[in-house]
Structure 1
């Protein structure tokens, strides 16, 4: 029997989005499902650049099978000019076979991001990640205002998904509200997948 899992798929360059992924995964586990944490390799303008088959540190690289077999998806990226980072988009752009087969239709999905500045495009980045998920027929969960941290946060946090303000140097740690919202997103994905009888 295959264990149901929520795929927590992210790209992180400086570690903030990776820490968010860890907190989302914790929320998935609090919701009663396994969290499968995966990342994607960086892209390079040099034709000779090849990523190692296994990253030197952190999560393993995602495969299409990880995505195909998930009961739900949490997708995370740092902000790049109000958009998702190129490595994550490159991976998502390669999911046509899953789209053709309807493999993700009806599965819950949520998104998360980290930005250097407080108003550095958090919401547009989250929306940019939602677009391909909607094309795949996934069900967007978002974060409802019943999450009290959404009303109290002085850093990241939006109804579109979890977010984090990393600061200009990228070193600002997640605060209590940002952690709570990351965990809430993961837990919401797990409980939604169970209610949909996908888990």
Structure 2
């Protein structure tokens, strides 16, 4: 069984990438590896804008990464209360993984970033959960035992970690957001470890 969790994200201004890195730290604090991957931009014609291998930054996800992972953390900035098109485009192409059951019974969590406080964080998280449920994944949110969910004045949700970037599109996470991302990674790793022993 795999000993790593796939942290898959799309980021335009860096905030979702910062969240992915912090979630990966939480995963690795529990003794599992985090494999961070992203998806390429797409053009108006729904074609990839970038080469197969990026010139810098995280590598692009491959379909084989889904089968190989022990769990999945999925992140996207919000686009009108929904996940961003590049991530949706990738998920829409995973029919063969759905048919083969590549993700069945693996744990998953979701995370997002918005430029405004009420910019659709929770609906974006819910939109990312739907294809994961179709894939048969076990969804893990953030329980209210995390004190930051009670104290945060920035991001944070029981549906998954969130970041409020304000108008200046800041990718700097608040202390509460950093704590919740880390906790989400830890929880995902703990659940993956428990499920692999069943």
Q: Specify the alignment match of 1:39 in structure 2.
A: 38
**Cα contact 2:18–2:171 (8 A) shared by 1:** no
RMSD of aligned Cα (Å): 1.6
Spell out the pairing of 1:2-41 with structure 2 (5 A cutoff). 4-41=3-40
**Cα contact 2:39–2:61 (8 A) shared by 1:** yes
Q: Structure 1: any 5+ residue segments left out of the alignment?
A: none
Q: Secondary structure at the match of 1:35?
A: strand
Instruction: Give the alignment's TM-score, normalised by structure 2.
Output: 0.96
**Cα contact 1:32–1:191 (8 A) shared by 2:** no
Count of residue correspondences: 198
Q: Secondary structure at the match of 1:74?
A: strand
Q: Residues 47 and 40 of structure 1: is their aligned pair in 2 closer, same or farther, counting only changes over 3 Å?
A: closer
The ranges of structure 1 where at least 4 consecutive aligned residues each deviate by more than 6 angstroms after the TM superposition are none
Shift of 1:50: 3.9
Q: Secondary structure at the match of 2:127?
A: helix
Q: Specify the alignment match of 2:65 in structure 1.
A: 66
Could you tell me how far apart the structure 1 residues matched to 2:179 and 2:24 are?
A: 12
Deviations 1:20-75 (A, max 9, x none): 00000001001210000000000101477641121122110000111111000000
Could you tell me how far apart the structure 2 residues matched to 1:142 and 1:107 are?
A: 14
Could you tell me how far apart the structure 1 residues matched to 2:172 and 2:98 are?
A: 36
**Cα contact 1:38–1:62 (8 A) shared by 2:** yes
Could you tell me how far apart the structure 2 residues matched to 1:76 and 1:92 are?
A: 12
Instruction: Give the alignment's TM-score, normalised by structure 1.
Output: 0.95
Instruction: Note if 1:75 corresponds to 2:81.
Output: no
Q: Specify the alignment match of 1:113 in structure 2.
A: 112
Spell out the pairing of 1:84-95 with structure 2 (5 A cutoff). 84-95=83-94
**Cα contact 2:2–2:69 (8 A) shared by 1:** no
